[in-house]
Structure 1
Amino acid sequence: MPVPRSRRSVLLLSAALLSLPAGRAAAAPAARAGDAYDALRGAWRELLLGSGFQPSEAPFAGKLALLGNRAAAHRSTLAAANGSLWPDLPLTASASITGSHTRLATMAQAYAQPGTGLTGDPGVADAVLAGLGHLHDQVYNAATSPFGNWWDFQIGSPQALLDTVTVLYDRLPAARLADHLAAVDRFVPDSCVGSYTGTSTGANRVDLCRSLALRGILGKDPAKIALARDALSPVFPFVTSGDGFYADGSFVQHTWLPYTGSYGAVLLGGLAGLLALLDGSAWAVTDPARQLVHDSVERSFAPFLHNGLMMDAVSGRSTSRGDPRTTPLGFQGGDHGRGHGVLASVALLGTAASAAENRRWRALVKGWMQRDHYSPVLDDTDLTVPALALLKAVRDDPAVVAAPGPTGHRLFPAMDRAVHRRPGWAASLGMASERTAFYETGNGENLRGWHTGAGMLQWWGDTFANGQYTDAFWPTVDPYRLPGTTVSRKPLADAEGGAWALPRPDASWVGGATDGEYAAVGQSVRGLSSTLSAKKSWFCLADSIVCLAGAVRSADGAAVETVVDNRNLGAAGAHALTVDGTDRPTDLGWSATLPGTRWARIAGHAGYVFPGGATVRALREARTGSWRDINTGGSARPITRRYLTLWFDHGADPAGAACSHVLMPGATAAETAARAADAGWVAVLANDGDRQGVAVPSLGVTAVNFWVAGTAGALAADAPACVLVRKHGDGTATLCVADPMRARTGLTVTWRRPVAAVLDRPETVTSATTGSALTLVFGDLTGRAGATQRVRVALA
């Protein structure tokens, strides 16, 4: 389902969907003379432009000046001609039609907003209306047929067009209004929401409903507004396949892609705006299933928000859009830019939610804002003026107490993602399976995201390393050495696998089990266009993650590597690397093979422990790339960043290699050395193609990923499964069991440890035997979607 690189740009331009002015009641349209349609049009205009802010004060003055400068530049280059409105946007390309409407919308906002330098300038308004007429007469009218990308005709252009008409409604002749509405009817007919399939699902469906609703409001057509309202209903319920929200909190778009942070964010912002707009009117959204969208704030979005940023693992090809050239209005971009937009959406949705939800969400938003030290939210020139007004009101409200950062573990089996949060840091894990594509490329975007689903392990500190992936990471990192991955260095072509092909590995054992705080996660890895295979496990614990790679095989004739970490040190970073107590050189170009390494630490980042010692490779280098390398719409300007990389070299064509390490985010050298010296802290029970498991006695944890039936330590399973056991100080223990393959019609798990009684068990446990050992017999797990089955027992 191709969507152009300008998608986010267009949505951001009309991102008053993400805001309301402080102190304004969202549910009731503004009181205006006229009928209900005029009231709704006035309410949408306020959503687009905002009110109640001081245009001469920060952060609004700078934002309004930037808007005015951008609009003035568009005005100065506007030159209507046959086949174009701007010389650089030929109307033979669908993206140029959207781009032209978008520039006109920018000019309209600059005309209507205060403090832009173009405020109230009739020449600007006339130029915008003439430009709309030219686009209508040339290409966007009821008599032409769509071409190029469907999104430009059904979403990008009509949204910008209808927003512009809303802003300049009082200056638009009735005949021209009818022309523009007829064009929208041509390209966004009622039939586009006739069935919940194809391009009319998830975020796309919300976008289509937005156009239908505005078409109805501007044309005073009650049936259109009702259709838009009713067509939202298929978006609300949980899905079990394809696009939408899943019961486990996953959000999928394009059938196979985790997209909470991009398409999901668009959906959230769009729904927030429509719900706020229609509430209190005759067309209010009353479907009780809308509550599932409210629940998604904490179930789906909050887990992936860390100190104001939105994690890359659920943002798809949006990670290649960190270049200001690809977005308007000085886009800061990256994970923080995506996160800030979601913060504004959450705040807006709260105005159409219950009082309790609104209070809770405002506390979350305030906490995220306060902790975003790397990219302060109110300094984000990507946010619209109304969004800034709403977020500033949250920040300045003394009644809102900032919510602290959460701790715990969340698994998202439906999209093969996991998030681990601990005091002081957070991590995410991106995997691929027969359910989840390796990566997505299309429209010339994300050309080298090949290995982002190969077990990429990203992590951030609370007060450090929050710019790790924001600061030009994606155009400069070695795409074969993404942190945490095991990959073949077989050369891959840009967009390997094909645009929109969404290639998926032939692997079903991907997932894990969690008690909500700790977790065992595993991935049967397959290489993209490669013979690579491996078994990977991550055991997520109190202050660390134990990482295993086993059964590493390949016949590509290329080197295979498991990347311990690959840290972006910035443009001039020279962070010290300490290995077994000795500081290594900080010279660029330094590389070394370090046999017998017990531990290493990168100053200001993390400690790494290698149980039993290992041969580790290290490299300190400056890497130069450009956004155009990974996104054809990006700048070709060279960017250089310094990297410090640690990895295991399995050599060419390994036939069963294995390795292990412990990641300790934020650890000091002393803490790392102490962990390495404690030989009994972790025992690797198995690390091969049959089982991978660890025991950590000090935490009471034993966890095993059974790739096949077998035994490891005190645990046994008669079929593939994931098992996590955790003993507690009160004489109880919790056993967490999952069937990541979703194939078990029966499963028996044994824990060879005396157990007195089973205190609590799910209905999937058909029998439980206690005594000198615990034996749990599970029934059919195929319908559990990989979810964890928790059993609580009393120890003997």
Structure 2
Amino acid sequence: MTDVWSRRSFLCAAGGGALLLGAPAVRAGAAPVAEDWAALRAAWRHLVLGGGFPASAEPFRSRLTELGETARGWAAAMAPAAGSLWPDLGFTTDPEKMMQSYYRLRTMAEAYVRPGTGVTGDTALLSALLGGLDQMHAQVYHAGRARYGNWYCWQIGAPQALLDVCVLLYGELTADRLAAFCAAVDHFVPDSAVAAYGGTSTGANRVDLCRVLAVRGVVGADPAKISLAADALAPVFPYVTGGDGLYRDGSFVQHTWVPYTGTYGAVLLGGLGLLFALLKGTPWEVTDPGARIVFDAVERAWAPFLFNGLAMDCVSGRAVSRGLTALDARQVQQDDHTRGHALLAGILLLAEGAGPAERTRWRGLVKGWTARSHYSPPAADRSLGLAPLAALAELEADASVTALPEPVGHRLFPSMDRATHRRPGWAASLSLASRRIAHYETGNGENLRGWHTGSGMLAWWGSSYGNGQYSDAFWPTVDPYRLPGITVARKALADGAGGDWGAPRPDAAWVGGSTDGEFASVGQHLRGLGSTLEARKSWFFLADTVVCLGAGIRASDGVVVESVVDNRNLGAAGSHALTVNGAVQPSGPGWSGVYRAPGWVHLAGFGGYVLHGPGTFRALREARTGRWSEVNRGGSATALTRRYLTLWYDHGTDPAGAGYAYQLLPGADADRTGARASASGWMAVLANDEVAQGVAVGSLGFTGVNFWRPGVAGPLEASAPCSVTVRERGDGTATVCVADPGRVVEALDVVWDRPVAAVLSGPPSLLSVVTGPRLRLRFGNLTTAAGASQEVVVRLGGSALRMS
């Protein structure tokens, strides 16, 4: 069995969630002496190993035993030879296998020093460790050696593992060994690695490099290295306006074009937490005021993508394709829940460096997410290291911490073309693509068929159902041309089509929307990947539904074009009852149905769909078989079969202006779905064409319009492309939220045909207002607003609110 466990997951599991409890501090104002360096080594050791967990209780007892068995197995299998330390990890031309060799050595070192592994202090294991370290140093990782292949292996993966081993085995390593290992790290990670902020030294990668430098300083008693590491964090903190890093709207981007809050963002979060904790109370404590941005990002950037303990796939890039991978001698699952658990542990760690109020709130949030992780509890997560597992277990047992509920609200992330919508009982995420953000990311042979993720994939979960929807072998078994919510030309694409590292970006600017923080109007000018497809798509996120509109759908590739209403993973043997227009349909795989819109559909255990039309919609039950290795060259080749229920609009071959309108009703039963379909007056579609798309729901006081061009839709008029969301409230006020998703509008007039008595507040971009029988708002240059909503609050005039 080969080690194909992801590098990022290794680093998270290795110590990303340990808590630093009372580590001794280096004496301020004096040169560090021997006991100070010992204190820093003890601090890092505690961060790596954690502490205080009951080693004789489950799941710790089994995990410790497993760790010991794994280490014993690696020691027995070690066979030093030219170009390898283990026969299956030849590193002559493959630095990934060099890095994996260091990962194995680190696992062995952890088993050697941890009590309860069965090999604690084992002399034979220590002998194998020392021989392995010497072999790796002599053959491949030493000063003067030229690196080859992936830079990451040499500058982050291998040195982080090696330095952890140096701390864990410090008392067993001779001074000559320590000096040689430090010299090797200095060779591959020189000070110049952080001299400029750019290239591979940005965002999470920069934090990882700083971690290498800091721990190198601890191991080699080199204060200059630690000082450099602390200072080199500074460029990570400020908000960015392009490329890698945290944005003011809560977006986190890595690889320039890829939303990455869930993986690289987790590395940044955990890495900063580790460094803040290591350096706290020392002369190198991170006191940069910019670090405040990281603390703010916990709830601005990370929390919106956590639900019931999972991290939404829309911000995990190519990591969604990793699935079943080999960790040491065992197969472990990587999915949205395991990525979520790493984030929870990272938030706990960062909380130790936050203020008392934030620490209390974050611990309450994490406890709530952990308690609701019913599909995949952290205690069962075999990819989670013992240190973060212990931190989460300690929190769960802490009766003084109150578990906080899931928040309710809508968040738009214009800088990474993502949105999340959270309501009591369910949550949803939306993935889009533009000139700024890639359709998908592939690279290193990963995520080979994620082509259409950014074509409007709408994912959703219920509070007590559907939490395994995308965890349960979804990515290797789903039809990649039928991701939920997308519009797509079924033109065959090659694996990795469009290029690596976020290369496939559409020539489309109008992507984004407007929100008042609870409801939203979101739109996408869609240009297909590898096809001539073009469409306008809009989503209106409301109280119990997402209203989805499509217009101007056209292509000329000689293939069928479809808009996927949903594609539900029913599991290995799911046969959830399907009702269409009140009639129960067959339940076996292989069944399909064709229906004329309008109509309604209910899928037991999930929710309902109201298909307003126009055209034909189809339903299909199928069993699909796939392998992780088909979407990720390093994945498991084991065949997996899952059943799916797919609903879609069939626009035919080469449509010349097709459209659709439907509602998604998460958690609705059949009666409520049917009633909504019959309630013709509940919602009005104000426009659904290539000028504008909009809806109004009187009972919610909601009017939302996405203007693709200047025009009129219902009571709203716009002089330039924009998105407008209006909410009338019961207190006689209303909010008008306006955004420029395309970032091209230098002047904009928005008219609302509604009596308004006064404007109570507005943004600096609002230049003038006219109230009276109609409201006219004149905005100035919105190009620098980065797609953010401009909120205007007004007092309504007239005799009554237009709410039913």
TM > 0.5:
yes
User: How far does the alpha carbon of each residue in 1:535-579 deviate from its partner, in whole angstroms, 9 at most, with x for none?
Assistant: 000000000100011100111111110000000000000001101
Partner of 1:139: 140
User: How far does the alpha carbon of each residue in 1:102-132 deviate from its partner, in whole angstroms, 9 at most, with x for none?
Assistant: 0000011011111112111011112111101
Report the AA paired with residue 487 of structure 1.
V
Residue 701 in structure 1 maps to residue 699 in structure 2:
no
Secondary structure in structure 2 of the residue aligned to 1:35: helix
Pairing 1:547-626 to 2, within 5 Å after superposition: 547-611=548-612, 615-626=616-627
Structure 1 residue 325, shift from structure 2 partner = 2.6
Secondary structure in structure 2 of the residue aligned to 1:664: strand
Partner of 1:17: 16
Partner of 2:168: 167
Partner of 1:375: 376
Structure 1 residue 697, shift from structure 2 partner = 1.1
Residue 451 in structure 1 maps to residue 448 in structure 2:
no
User: How far does the alpha carbon of each residue in 1:189-244 deviate from its partner, in whole angstroms, 9 at most, with x for none?
Assistant: 00000000000000000000000001111111110000000001110111111100
Change (3 A) 1:700 1:27: farther
CA–CA distance in structure 1, aligned partners of residues 73 and 656 of structure 2: 60
- Which has the larger displacement, 493-502 or 738-747? 493-502
User: How far does the alpha carbon of each residue in 1:494-545 deviate from its partner, in whole angstroms, 9 at most, with x for none?
Assistant: 0001222522100000000000000000000011111001000000000010
Contact 2:570–2:643 (Cα < 8 Å) also in 1: yes
Contact 1:27–1:278 (Cα < 8 Å) also in 2: no
CA–CA distance in structure 1, aligned partners of residues 72 and 539 of structure 2: 53
Structure 1 residue 59, shift from structure 2 partner = 2.0
Residue 541 in structure 1 maps to residue 538 in structure 2:
no
CA–CA distance in structure 2, aligned partners of residues 676 and 96 of structure 1: 57
Partner of 1:461: 462
CA–CA distance in structure 2, aligned partners of residues 8 and 366 of structure 1: 24
CA–CA distance in structure 2, aligned partners of residues 432 and 772 of structure 1: 39
Residue 300 in structure 1 maps to residue 301 in structure 2:
yes
Change (3 A) 1:500 1:427: same
Contact 2:5–2:326 (Cα < 8 Å) also in 1: no
Report the AA paired with residue 72 of structure 1.
R
Secondary structure in structure 1 of the residue aligned to 2:326: helix
Structure 1 residue 36, shift from structure 2 partner = 1.5
CA–CA distance in structure 2, aligned partners of residues 35 and 328 of structure 1: 38
Report the AA paired with residue 84 of structure 1.
S
Partner of 2:269: 268
- Which has the larger displacement, 516-525 or 386-395? 386-395
Structure 1 residue 29, shift from structure 2 partner = 7.6
Pairing 1:371-770 to 2, within 5 Å after superposition: 371-500=372-501, 502-611=503-612, 615-770=616-771
CA–CA distance in structure 2, aligned partners of residues 108 and 749 of structure 1: 65
Contact 2:615–2:650 (Cα < 8 Å) also in 1: no
Partner of 1:42: 42
Contact 1:598–1:614 (Cα < 8 Å) also in 2: no
Structure 1 residue 288, shift from structure 2 partner = 1.2
CA–CA distance in structure 2, aligned partners of residues 417 and 725 of structure 1: 21
CA–CA distance in structure 2, aligned partners of residues 561 and 251 of structure 1: 31
Contact 2:309–2:341 (Cα < 8 Å) also in 1: yes
Partner of 1:52: 52
CA–CA distance in structure 1, aligned partners of residues 624 and 24 of structure 2: 51
Pairing 1:239-254 to 2, within 5 Å after superposition: 239-254=240-255
Change (3 A) 1:674 1:13: closer
Contact 1:559–1:653 (Cα < 8 Å) also in 2: yes
- Which has the larger displacement, 225-234 or 109-118? 109-118
- Which has the larger displacement, 377-386 or 310-319? 377-386
Pairing 1:255-334 to 2, within 5 Å after superposition: 255-325=256-326, 330-334=331-335
Secondary structure in structure 2 of the residue aligned to 1:71: helix
Secondary structure in structure 2 of the residue aligned to 1:324: strand
Secondary structure in structure 1 of the residue aligned to 2:256: coil
Percent identical pairs in the alignment equals 59
Structure 1 residue 67, shift from structure 2 partner = 1.5
Partner of 1:89: 89
Contact 2:590–2:621 (Cα < 8 Å) also in 1: yes
TM-score, L = length of structure 2:
0.97
Report the AA paired with residue 79 of structure 1.
A
Contact 1:514–1:788 (Cα < 8 Å) also in 2: yes
User: How far does the alpha carbon of each residue in 1:567-622 deviate from its partner, in whole angstroms, 9 at most, with x for none?
Assistant: 00000000011011100000110011112442101100110012367521000000
Report the AA paired with residue 424 of structure 2.
P
User: How far does the alpha carbon of each residue in 1:71-96 deviate from its partner, in whole angstroms, 9 at most, with x for none?
Assistant: 22212211000110011111121101
Secondary structure in structure 2 of the residue aligned to 1:18: coil
Change (3 A) 1:576 1:81: same
CA–CA distance in structure 2, aligned partners of residues 502 and 588 of structure 1: 37
- Which has the larger displacement, 130-139 or 326-335? 326-335
User: How far does the alpha carbon of each residue in 1:432-462 deviate from its partner, in whole angstroms, 9 at most, with x for none?
Assistant: 0000011110111000000011110000000
Change (3 A) 1:267 1:351: same
Pairing 1:324-363 to 2, within 5 Å after superposition: 324-325=325-326, 330-363=331-364
Change (3 A) 1:35 1:467: same
Report the AA paired with residue 294 of structure 1.
F
CA–CA distance in structure 2, aligned partners of residues 414 and 488 of structure 1: 26
Secondary structure in structure 2 of the residue aligned to 1:288: coil
CA–CA distance in structure 2, aligned partners of residues 295 and 79 of structure 1: 49
Partner of 2:801: none
CA–CA distance in structure 1, aligned partners of residues 58 and 293 of structure 2: 36
Secondary structure in structure 1 of the residue aligned to 2:332: coil
Unmatched tracts of structure 1, length 5 or more: none
Structure 1 residue 17, shift from structure 2 partner = 3.0
Partner of 1:783: 784
TM-score, L = length of structure 1:
0.97
CA–CA distance in structure 2, aligned partners of residues 399 and 328 of structure 1: 39
Contact 1:590–1:619 (Cα < 8 Å) also in 2: yes
CA–CA distance in structure 2, aligned partners of residues 12 and 202 of structure 1: 16
User: How far does the alpha carbon of each residue in 1:130-155 deviate from its partner, in whole angstroms, 9 at most, with x for none?
Assistant: 10110110010002111000000000
Contact 1:27–1:277 (Cα < 8 Å) also in 2: no
CA–CA distance in structure 1, aligned partners of residues 614 and 508 of structure 2: 31
Unmatched tracts of structure 2, length 5 or more: 798-804
Partner of 1:74: 74
Change (3 A) 1:506 1:305: same
Secondary structure in structure 2 of the residue aligned to 1:406: coil
Structure 1 residue 481, shift from structure 2 partner = 0.1
Contact 2:451–2:529 (Cα < 8 Å) also in 1: yes
CA–CA distance in structure 2, aligned partners of residues 90 and 675 of structure 1: 62
- Which has the larger displacement, 116-125 or 225-234? 116-125
Alpha-carbon RMSD: 1.6
- Which has the larger displacement, 72-81 or 455-464? 72-81
- Which has the larger displacement, 152-161 or 380-389? 380-389
Structure 1 residue 9, shift from structure 2 partner = 3.7
Secondary structure in structure 2 of the residue aligned to 1:547: strand
- How many correspondences in the alignment? 790
CA–CA distance in structure 2, aligned partners of residues 331 and 673 of structure 1: 43
Contact 2:17–2:389 (Cα < 8 Å) also in 1: no
Report the AA paired with residue 209 of structure 1.
C
Structure 1 residue 417, shift from structure 2 partner = 0.3
Contact 2:614–2:661 (Cα < 8 Å) also in 1: no
Structure 1 residue 26, shift from structure 2 partner = 6.0
CA–CA distance in structure 2, aligned partners of residues 207 and 61 of structure 1: 31
Change (3 A) 1:687 1:724: same
